[in-house]
């Protein structure tokens, strides 16, 4: 699909910028020499691998989710089995989080090690057609390897923030080599900001793709559009608490789980709901034959 090719190049370019920021910090901390570059590169790779390998465990634990049987959640199993079979992919593990904040997410290293989680709130809020739209979206995150993408972005952003703070502490370079304290001050503010902006751009790109691909998998873009309308209201009425563990996994969720007002919207991990819904309605118009909500 054309959009995947375009967004793949865009994501690669964004990662290139993020790595450039990371290596730039290493250069400055090395007093203008590459002495720290290999250390920081290795640190970034290790953090990426750890975050990626344990992404499912971290997210499931953060949401206090528990595995559910088919007897407990027959509709969820029926939908996921149907969509997985249609996509010729293995059945993921299914979980339910006890929170009443309506949301859902998928995580795991690959389709064979994937998990899909719904909150009690979303299962109560949506009808089966809307839930199918949401689960199609989440499965596409797995099939598109978005968990790897988000894990890498989060890990690199975290390392950049830590190194920027380290740079400030050491005055932006080796003091014995005449490091520039002003460079350290700029780094501690600008580098984490740049990393955050890039991470947000990557996250929003993958959400648009999962919307489009998930709607194509289910054949019902308007079902997902209707679900997103309800989720926008539901997450506003029941936002998750601003807990660091939850913030670390919020980018995996189909809707921003926190209260996003004013300037906070600019730094949301998710695109505006109105834009997502408009794109899905346009997609439905192109596909035709689907009754509008």
What is the band of 291 on the pLDDT scale with cuts at 50, 70, 90?
Answer: very low
- Span 207-258, pLDDT tens digits: 999 999 999 999 999 999 999 999 999 999 999 998 888 887 888 899 999 8
- Residue 185: pLDDT band with limits 50, 70, 90: low
**166 versus 261: which is more confidently predicted?**
166
Other Cβ atoms less than 10 A from the Cβ of 184: the count is 22
Partners of 118 in the β-ladder = 96, 104
pLDDT at 54: 76
Mean pLDDT score across all residues of the chain:
82
Q: What is the mean pLDDT of residues 115-136?
A: 98
Q: How does residue 58 score in pLDDT terms, banded at 50, 70 and 90?
A: confident
What global pTM score does this model have?
0.81
pLDDT class of 67 with cuts at 50, 70, 90:
very high
Enumerate the domain spans of the chain: 2-287
Residues marked as catalytic: 138
């Amino acid at each position: 699909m054309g959009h995947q090719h375009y967004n793949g190049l865009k994501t690669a370019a964004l990662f290139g910028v993020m790595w450039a920021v990371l290596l730039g910090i290493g250069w400055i901390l090395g007093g203008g020499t590459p002495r720290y570059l290999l250390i920081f590169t290795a640190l970034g790779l290790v953090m990426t691998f750890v975050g990626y390998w344990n992404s499912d465990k971290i997210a499931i634990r953060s949401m206090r989710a528990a595995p559910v049987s088919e007897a407990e959640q027959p509709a969820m199993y029926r939908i996921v089995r149907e969509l997985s079979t249609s996509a010729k992919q293995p059945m993921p593990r299914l979980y339910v989080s006890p929170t009443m904040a309506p949301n859902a997410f998928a995580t795991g290293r690959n389709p064979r090690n994937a998990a899909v989680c719904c909150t009690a709130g979303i299962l109560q809020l949506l009808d089966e057609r809307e839930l199918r739209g949401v689960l199609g979206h989440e499965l596409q995150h797995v099939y598109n390897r978005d968990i790897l993408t988000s894990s890498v972005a989060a890990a690199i952003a975290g390392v950049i923030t830590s190194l920027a703070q380290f740079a400030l502490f050491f005055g932006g370079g080796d003091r014995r080599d005449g490091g520039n304290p002003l460079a350290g001050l700029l780094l501690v503010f600008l580098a984490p900001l740049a990393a955050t902006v890039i991470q947000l751009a990557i996250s929003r790109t993958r959400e648009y793709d999962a919307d489009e691909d998930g709607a194509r998998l289910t054949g019902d873009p308007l079902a997902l559009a209707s679900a997103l309308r309800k989720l926008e209201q539901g997450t506003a009425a029941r936002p998750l608490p601003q807990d660091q563990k939850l913030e670390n996994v919020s980018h995996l969720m189909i809707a921003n789980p926190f209260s996003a007002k004013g300037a906070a919207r600019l730094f949301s991990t998710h695109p505006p709901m109105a834009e997502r819904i408009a794109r899905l309605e346009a997609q439905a118009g192109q596909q035709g034959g689907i009754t509008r909500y």
